Amino acid sequence: MATSKIVAPLCLMVLVFSLCSSKVQSQDVCAGVERPEPETIPCTINCILPDPVCGTDGVTYTCGCLDAFCHGVDVVKKGEC
């Protein structure tokens, strides 16, 4: 019974840590990419090479971080959703 009192808080710590670390990673995905000014959204994006990223809305943006930003969406990860 004492084991369950120890395991539950440890599980909670692991969950919180994994959520926090994934948020930090998602911020690093678009490091160096400037967000457009809000009044220019939606903006026009023309890309030659696809660089897909997954937006927080569950949509894959083929032209990368700037494409997602121009749609007013943050990026969760590189690659398709």
Q: Where are the domains of the chain?
A: 3-78
Give the pTM.
0.64
Cβ burial, residue 61 (10 Å; 0-12/13-18/19+): buried
* Tokens, residue 27: 């911020």
| pLDDT computed for residue 12 by the predictor | 41
Nearest to 57 by CA among 45, 47, 67: 67
pLDDT by residue (tens digit) across 20-64?
434 444 568 899 888 888 888 888 888 999 999 999 999 999 999
| pLDDT computed for residue 69 by the predictor | 93
End-to-end CA distance of the chain: 42
Work out the pLDDT band at 1, boundaries 50, 70, 90. low
